[in-house]
Amino acid sequence: MSTFLVNGGKQLYGNVKVHGAKNSVLPILAAAIVNPGESILHNCPDLSDVTASIKILEHLGCTVKRENGTIIIDSRSICRCDIPDELMREMRSSVIFLGAILARAGEAKMSFPGGCELGPRPIDLHLSSLRALGAHIEEKSGNLLCRADRMRGCEINLSIPSVGATENAMLAACSCEGTTTITNAAREPEITDLQNFLCSMGFSVFGAGGSTIVVEGKAKLHDCSHTVISDRIVAATYLTAVASAGGEVNVEDVDYRHLSTVTSILSEAGCRIRSEENSVIISCKKPLKAVRPVRTAPYPGFPTDAQAPLMAAMLCAEGTSVFIENIFENRYRHVDELMRMGADIKVEGRVAVVCGVPRLHGASIKATDLRGGAALVAAALGAEGESRISGISHIDRGYQSLERSLAEIGAEILRTDGP
């Protein structure tokens, strides 16, 4: 089993590039099913979740070619509409294939999704949205049996701006007769990227980035090419790693506007931030100072995926910082591992209180989820001595060769195989 060995206490300097967004490429890979032709996707990261999505596409009958950062999907040969349980369990976002398969085949069969254990992730909004469009869905023995003889556009009002439900509704609406209007839609940049991909294959979709999205169904489709946006959460992780270890780094190939809530907190903590057109430059001299309460919220609020890495950066800040997690119930699973390194954190329900300590020390720690694992790496970079981080398969779900990117800016980090 692979682990990271991190020798902390080394400041970070140089340039680091951000790869394509995990939370963008996964729904776009699913969307390629809707187009009975060839889709060429550029800037696709080499992640285990991407590999899992490709396995699903190939199981359905697609031909997939992958070379460096480009993936070519030919979906003309799709011959199945089911996804086996072992593939569904490989990632939490696998349910996004439901809307796409329904749009293409008119029926779908799959089990409930797996992935990181962050607490319940209900898919009720996904299912109610698809039912509103005309899908018949039966939940039986842990499986979803879906059929859609004739789907019609309608107005879908989401009770909360769920990213996954918004994406599934957009994909299913592509096959509908007439117009679908999604209100209280998620506003994340990844939603806009999905819209742009659907438009590139011939659909008329507009409004993404705002709270109302309109999809015109039944378009004349054609082969297409699309470049996936860069990953704002990976960029935020690099920024928090520098805040933890100190130094000065230029985080390249990222839209600074997608990071404004993260950079504002880091600025408040004492980091110097300079944003340019396609990069963010961070300079940090320790110690940092505590910040106002950090409340996670749907975009454009503070992202839940950046909560754990930011917490890692604040462990040695002077004063007390408070984190309030409003999205997932179990998003503090990294706390116990950080405390093994000497952190002072108290958790009460959805609130975590971080009291800054003078220093952290290296320890043997274990990643239990994707972003919590990234937080452990950030903390280890700022700690004294060596840390051994196990469970890094979680990290590989969302970070392409994280150890190589960090080593390029001066981190002493190695991937090792063994117990």
| Binding site per annotation, positions | 22-23, 92, 121-125, 305, 327
Token readout for 183 is 């209100």
42 sits in which H/E element:
strand 38-42
Given the residues 44, 62, 81, 116, the one annotated as active site: 116
Residue 397 · residue 406 · CB < 8 Å: no
Cα distance between residue 28 and residue 41, in whole Å = 9
Indicate the annotated binding residues for phosphoenolpyruvate. Answer: 22-23
Report the alpha-carbon distance of residue 278 to residue 299 in Å, rounded.
20
**Cβ neighbours of 64 (radius 10 Å):** 17
What tokens appear for 165 in the block?
């439900």
Please tell me the distance from the alpha carbon of residue 301 to that of residue 160, in angstroms, as a whole number: 14
Structure tokens at 251: 């985080």
- Burial class of residue 73 in the structure, from the number of CB atoms within 10 Å of its CB (0-12 exposed, 13-18 middle, 19+ buried): buried
User: Do the beta carbons of residue 31 and residue 50 sit within 8 Å?
Assistant: no
Binding residue ranges for UDP-N-acetyl-alpha-D-glucosamine: 92, 121-125, 305, 327
232-249: buried (b, 16+ CB within 10 Å) or exposed (e) per residue?
A: bbbbbbbbbbbbbbbbbb
Q: Residue 146 catalytic?
A: no
In degrees, rounded to 5, the angle at the alpha carbon of residue 368 between the alpha carbons of residues 124 and 360 is 135
Give CA separation, 31 vs 7, 185, 198, 387, in Å. 42, 18, 8, 40
| DSSP summary character for residue 411 | -
CA distance 211 to 182: 8
Distances in Å between the Cα of 382 and the Cα atoms of 262, 297, 338, 352, 412 are: 19, 27, 12, 20, 11
Exposure of 404 by Cβ count < 10 A (0-12 exposed, 13-18 middle, 19+ buried)? exposed
Write the single-letter amino acid at 105.
Answer: A
Tokens for 9, please give them: 């206490």
Torsion of CA 63, 67, 69, 70, to 10 degrees: -40
Q: Which residues are catalytic?
A: 116
